[in-house]
Amino acid sequence: MSIRPETPCLLVDLERLDANIQAAAAHATKLGIALRPHAKTHKCPEIARRQLDAGAAGLTVATVSEAEVFAAQGFGDLFIAYPLWVDPQRGARLRRLRDIVSVTVGVDSVEGARALAAQVPGAGVLVEVDSGHHRSGVSPGDAGRLAEAAARAGLDVHGVFTFPGHSYAVDAAERVAGEERAALSEAAESLRTQGIEPRVVSGGSTPSARHVGTGTMTEMRPGVYVFGDAQQWELGATSPDRIALSCLATVVSHAGGNVVLDSGSKVLGADRAPWASGYGRLLDHPDARIILLSEHHAVVDWPDHTELPELGSPLRVVPNHVCNTVNLADELLVVHNGAVVDAWRVAARGANR
């Protein structure tokens, strides 16, 4: 890099980003299903545009405010993959959204469906199904009853969706992809028994994406794949040479014979899954581990056989969970051929409502 940006800051490798976007698009094309990437990972219209240009069918978002940000930027087909509780305030916002874009919403309860229908009559919905993550969603066999109730309340039931989040575990991806397929099949069949033909059968997470088969899902919604992160690295869903986002950090201390970096939890996020080997990885030093993370310090256990990098040295940190990292930043610095060529605003940062 010609001039080193002040640290800590987030760098996006443009070539790797585009390669990740193309690879996922090609994978979906090969499966013959739609790709509707989750924009919560990048929150960035420039990246969403590249996903659409590569063939994505639309965007997934998590909140009404994320939908508002992307709608304002001209993205016209949005799925809010969340069982929203729609009170009058949120209802008014959804009605304004529906005036300008196509927006579909998740439902996982009869009460939630009725509240939505009262505010946004005729809204398009997908019934959320629990495929084993045990977060939200109904049992696959109950999807038909909920779909029927939603239709009776006046909603337009497009189909079913699930998030197989239990794929975020060691050696789980293939098994979980099977559970996802089984749950979505059962849910789709459950809708048919109520006379509702599912037009959309939607699943997908980054770890399980490569195990998605043909014949059940009509679309998938991975998010993290655009960047990759230390979780995907440690789960084997990506490799360091494909990771497109890192946090540039500076060595500020050698206290205790460790390397202490200025990239703490206020820039990386505090995520640490039980199976993670630390609080993040170093892109160019795969044997190093972040053993302690506080708000502005990352303490790195440095491999024995190598010398500590000098105080003031820059190092690239790979965060454990990139979605939370991006949500802490105001901008992403775009790197191409070793130089910062652009800065993209994280337009939907903090868009939680």
Q: Where along the sequence are the contacts to a second copy (CB under 8 A)?
A: 4, 6-9, 40, 62-63, 82-85, 87, 89-90, 108-109, 111-112, 115, 130, 134-138, 165, 250-256, 260, 262, 264-267, 269-272, 292, 294-297, 299, 310-312, 321, 323-324, 327-330, 350, 352-353
Give 5 or 154: the residue with its C-beta nearer to a second copy.
Answer: 5
Give 87 or 284: the residue with its C-beta nearer to a second copy.
Answer: 87
Give 172 or 267: the residue with its C-beta nearer to a second copy.
Answer: 267
CB 250 within 8 A of CB 19: no
Give 54 or 259: the residue with its C-beta nearer to a second copy.
Answer: 259
CB of 93 to a second copy, least distance (A): 9
Amino acid at 343: A
CB of 60 to a second copy, least distance (A): 12
Amino acid at 206: T
Please give the structure tokens belonging to residue 149: 């109730």
Give 13 or 108: the residue with its C-beta nearer to a second copy.
Answer: 108
CB of 115 to a second copy, least distance (A): 7
CB of 251 to a second copy, least distance (A): 7
CB of 316 to a second copy, least distance (A): 16
CB 181 within 8 A of CB 127: no
Question: Judging by DSSP bridges, how do beta strands 59-61 and 77-83 pair with one another?
Answer: parallel
Rounded distance, CA 302 to CA 174, Å? Answer: 33
Question: Judging by DSSP bridges, how do beta strands 339-345 and 331-336 pair with one another?
Answer: antiparallel
Q: Is 187 exposed, middle or buried (0-12, 13-18, 19+ CB in 10 A)?
A: buried
φ, ψ for residue 118 (rounded to 5)?
Answer: -65, -35
CB of 180 to a second copy, least distance (A): 16
DSSP helix/strand/coil, 41: coil
CB 161 within 8 A of CB 202: yes
Give 196 or 346: the residue with its C-beta nearer to a second copy.
Answer: 346
